[in-house]
Amino acid sequence: MKSARNVAFGALAGSALLLLLLALALVLGSVVVAGIPALARGSTDGLAAATVGTALVTAIMTLLGVPFAVITAVYLAEYAPECSTTTRWVRAAVRALAGVPSIVFGLFGLGFFVLFVGRGMDRILYPGLGAVFGRPCVLWSGATLAVLTLPVVIVTTEEALRRVPRELREAALALGATKLETTFVVVLPAARVGVLTGVVLAIGRGAGEVAPILFTGAANFVPDLPTDVRAMFMHLGFHLYALSTQAADVSRSRPAAQATALLLLLVTLALNGTAIALRHRASRE
């Protein structure tokens, strides 16, 4: 009876794994097989700009989001009184943020970053000059993606901070370090692998997202490489979406779409790979 059940479960688990591998092979295989010849022909305009644009928006996302997330995690792990109402609300907000659909982040980015922050900056910095910051651009797309990826960085960093042993904090405090010095000179470096894990996960989520950048900066076609964070930009994911839904003749644009899909896969892999390599190096030190 028991062994029959074991066999049944084994078969079930095995076929689930097989199905998963099959799906993976199909998706990756079709993208790679179709993408390589299309890419080799190199006839598609805007791919270079879209590749650089994807890397750029991901970099901006990381630079803006990670420090903010780390500070929040430090507050939650080191400073927030455990059972205060504020702490409970901050935690609830982080959890809620993680569950918000990404298209809502896109609308939020348009309303908050482009219209509120951007226009506000224009009014103060460039009165009467028209829209400089107050329009969709790669900066606001990066900022929107940063908000989208905040929860994952906050949660992983906070867990990593809590795992730093108390003895280490006491060592620093007993040597006359202030709490701030202990936190930033001893505890945070000791938790750096956890922080970088959060960054890996954030890049994994953020690099391929299209919805948050739809209204905040992605452009249909800007063939020049991006040089200004205040300009709109091309993004591989958005480019793929545009090619496959908006072209006049979808069958003509198919090779371009296949090349774009392959590039998107490669860029996401490369970004993830860099983050994972960094994390690996930090964990060996």
Does residue 284 bind another protein (CB under 8 A)? no
- Long-range contacts: 107-112, Cβ < 8 Å, 24+? 107/215, 108/144, 108/147, 109/140, 109/141, 109/143, 109/144, 109/147, 109/212, 109/213, 109/215, 109/216, 110/136, 110/215, 110/216
Strand partners, 233: 218
Does residue 135 bind another protein (CB under 8 A)? no
Applying CB under 8 A, among 178, 220, 274, 283 the residue interacting with another protein is: 178
Mapped onto helix, strand or coil, the DSSP state of residue 115 is helix
Does residue 88 bind another protein (CB under 8 A)? no
Applying CB under 8 A, among 139, 143, 145, 186 the residue interacting with another protein is: 186
The region of 67-75, 101-109, 152-160, 171-179 touching another protein under the rule CB under 8 A is: 171-179
Torsion angle of C-alpha atoms 176, 182, 90, 197, degrees rounded to 10: -170
Nearer to another protein by Cβ, of 185 and 250: the residue is 185
Distance CA 205, CA 65 (A): 13
Residue 31: CB minimum distance to another protein, A: 43
Residue 183: CB minimum distance to another protein, A: 12
Nearer to another protein by Cβ, of 101 and 176: the residue is 176
Nearer to another protein by Cβ, of 192 and 254: the residue is 192
Residues 55-84 binding another protein (CB under 8 A) are: 81-82
Applying CB under 8 A, among 42, 127, 130, 176 the residue interacting with another protein is: 176
Nearer to another protein by Cβ, of 82 and 249: the residue is 82
Does residue 115 bind another protein (CB under 8 A)? no
Please state the three-class secondary structure of 216-245 as a single string.
Answer: CCECCCCCCCCCCCCCCECCHHHHHHHHHH
Distance CA 155, CA 69 (A): 9
CA 125 remoteness from chain centre: 30
Maximum CA extent, the chain:
81
Does residue 93 bind another protein (CB under 8 A)? no
The region of 11-19, 21-29, 173-181, 217-225 touching another protein under the rule CB under 8 A is: 173-181
Number of residues that bind another protein (CB under 8 A): 21
Does residue 279 bind another protein (CB under 8 A)? no
Residue 280: CB minimum distance to another protein, A: 17
CB 262 within 8 A of CB 36: yes
Scanning the chain, the segments in alpha helix (DSSP H) are 2-41, 47-74, 85-98, 102-109, 119-125, 138-163, 166-174, 179-181, 188-190, 192-206, 236-246, 250-284
Token readout for 223 is 């063939």
Residue 74: CB minimum distance to another protein, A: 16
Applying CB under 8 A, among 124, 129, 174, 248 the residue interacting with another protein is: 174
Nearer to another protein by Cβ, of 159 and 181: the residue is 181
Residues in contact with another protein by the rule CB under 8 A: 81-82, 165, 167-179, 181, 185-186, 189-190
